[in-house]
Structure 1
Amino acid sequence: MSRQGTIKRYTLIIERINRGLYPTLKEIETYLFDHGFEISKRTLQRNIEQIRDEFGIEIIYDQEKKGYFIDKENSIQFNSFLRFLEIANTAELITESIKDSKKTLEYISFDNDGILKGISNLKILLQAIKEQKVVTFTHYNFDQGNYKERKLYPYLLKEYLNRWYVIGLQEKDNTNFRTFGIDRISNLTLTTEVFVRNQELHPQSLFSSIIGVIYPEENIQEVVLKFTPFQGKYIKTLPLHHSQEILIDNDKELTIRLWIKINYELKQRLLMLIDQVEVLKPIALRDEMKQVLTKTLNNYN
């Protein structure tokens, strides 16, 4: 079967198990059959093993309940895997639609008008991560306004707001990860130098406590935000962070709590919604938003 068919099967398996109620192998098999996939029990078991081994999704069989469930706490890449399935299935849908009619692209509007600069580097960087090979490149620093030669032991690729970033170590025995936007990378070279990945380092966990890609050294804090009822509808359907908890939800406000590290991207998200949100906690962040608003108002005076 094609790779697209395999990805679609993976999606259906996750959908059925993620519903809860500990489905049996037979129930998952029936769900696949109802969606056009007739496969053997052995193939289904192999697919579950592949999802577990290739993507780190802990699909567990509960002996007591005699069914399967997903151990999300020990599946560090669960959200990334769901995003991967979403992108893959969307791409397949568009590809199939284009095959049916070349006019399909006339009916689709993408977020960016052009191709993201540096996107061609993704393949090389992904190969480097999989094969644990060192890469070298030239990187442009926005803050300092200069170019620097870099040597990186790559660990992870991350996407945020239609931009891709590579995360890795600059020294083999270091433990401090650095993040580089691939749109600012040039002269990328996949070297023959092989390194051993430190299994005690999990860069994915760095991003579990933040929004975006900038992870400060400060501790996780309680952030309480009050939204207008209208904006609250969007916040409920597309949460700001996985820790989001609803405190108040009525016709006057939506108040939520986040447990998160306060970084540049969080502040940017708040400023994008500045007339629709009020920061209640922490006081330091509330005061900072006040200062930004005062400065902005002065700009218009």
Structure 2
Amino acid sequence: MSKHGTIRRYTLEIEKIRRGQFPSFQEIKNYLFDHGFEIGDRTIQRDIEQIRFEFGIEITYSKNKNGYFIDYENSINIESFFRFLEIVNTAELLTESLKESKDALKHISFDTGGGLKGIENLKPLLKAIKDSRKISFNHFNFHTNKTRKYSLKPYLLKEYQNRWYVVGLIGNLREFRTFGIDRIEDLEVKPETFKVDHKLNPIDMFEKTIGLVYSYNTLQNVILSFTPTQGKYIKTLPLHTS
């Protein structure tokens, strides 16, 4: 089976477990069958193991409930995983539609363009982050209208409003800098590695931030008010995970 088919199967399994209130193994299997996947028990067991190994998502069996659930406390970056599944499955569905009809694009309206610029840098940037290797690049600054060369210790790739950014540290500074990959040129992954400071976690930093501009000031509670109709939209597409 193709990688897309495997990811689609992962999505259905996660979907059933999230919504099924401790579904049994057979209920998960039946759900997959209803969506076109006729597979054996061993495949589902292997999927659960692979989801844990590849993505850090802990799917656990509850003896008290006689069913499976997602152990959120022991799972890693679970919201990023759900977003990943959303992106992959959307791409797969669109690809299938285009294969069925070349005119499919006539009936699809995308958001404003520009999100793909610099996308070729995603793979080397991700590898540099995983291997803790320094990078260098030229970056164009919208405020100064100038291009400057940087050397960076990359910690994180972040998506925001259909654009990608690399977050990291410069030199011995302990404050993270964010660079849009659409404005990065001449990217070079250095053979030189760096020691990751585990006391600094940009994911934690962005958990309390809307957008890309963050502050180390004291957090404040903000109460937003919406009409009942507006509230329905906000609930289905929150401004922030909080």
Distance 1:16 1:230, change over 3 A: closer
* More displaced stretch, 189-198 vs 95-104: 189-198
Shift in Å, 1:184: 1.8
Question: Which residue does the alignment assign to 2:70?
Answer: 70
Letter in 2 for 1:60: T
Give 1:131 deviation, angstroms.
Answer: 3.1
Query: Which residue of structure 1 lines up, in the alignment, with residue 137 of structure 2?
Result: 137
Q: Residue 166 of structure 2: SS of its match in structure 1?
A: strand
Alignment partner, residue 79 of structure 1: 79
User: CA offsets per residue over residues 200-220 of structure 1, 9 Å max, x none?
Assistant: 543222221121222211222
For 1:21, the equivalent position in structure 2 comes to 21
Q: What are the equivalent positions in structure 2 for 1:3-22 lying under 5 Å apart?
A: 3-22=3-22
Match of 2:161 in 1: 161
* Greater displacement, 205-214 / 108-117: 108-117
Aligned counterpart, 1:204: 203
Residues 3 and 138 from structure 1, CA distance in 2 versus in 1: closer, same or farther, beyond 3 angstroms?
A: same
Match of 1:236 in 2: 235
- CA contact 2:55–2:76 (8 Å) conserved in 1: no
Distance 2:229 2:65 in 1: 42
Q: Contact conserved, 1:76 with 1:204, CA < 8 A, in 2?
A: no
**1:119-268 matches, cutoff 5 A:** 119-171=119-171, 175-243=174-242
Query: TM-score, with normalisation over the residues of structure 2?
Result: 0.90
- AA at the equivalent of 2:41: K
1:273: which partner in 2?
none
Name structure 1 gaps, 5 residues minimum: 244-301
Look up the match of 2:48: 48
Name the structure, 1 or 2, with higher relative contact order (CA <8 Å, separation 6+).
Answer: 2
TM-score by length of 1: 0.73
In the aligned structure 2, how far is the partner of 1:36 from the partner of 1:198?
46
Query: Aligned partners of 1:232, 1:115: CA distance in 2, in Å?
Result: 28
SS of alignment partner, residue 103 of structure 2: helix
**CA distance in 2: counterparts of 1:20 and 1:215, whole angstroms:** 37
Pair 227,112 (structure 1): closer, same or farther in 2 beyond 3 Å: same
Deviations 1:185-234 (A, max 9, x none): 11111222234444454322222112122221122221011223442332
Specify the SS of the correspondent of 1:10. Answer: helix
Q: Deviations over 1:225-283 (max 9, x none)?
A: 1223442332232222222xxxxxxxxxxxxxxxxxxxxxxxxxxxxxxxxxxxxxxxx
Instruction: Give RMSD over aligned pairs.
Output: 2.1
CA–CA distance in structure 2, aligned partners of residues 197 and 29 of structure 1 = 42
Q: Look up the SS of the partner of 1:221 in the other structure.
A: coil
The structure-2 alpha-carbon separation of the partners of 1:92 and 1:123, relative to structure 1 and needing over 3 Å to count, comes to: same
Classify the secondary structure of the residue corresponding to 2:216.
coil
What does the per-residue CA deviation read over 1:52-103, in whole Å, with 9 as the maximum and x for residues that have no partner?
2221222222233232211224434111111111111111111111111111
Query: What SS is found at the alignment partner of 2:32?
Result: helix
| Distance of aligned partners of 1:174 and 1:44 in 2 relative to their CA distance in 1, 3 Å threshold | farther
Structure index of larger Rg: 1
Q: Secondary structure at the match of 2:156?
A: strand
CA displacement at 1:175 relative to structure 2: 4.4
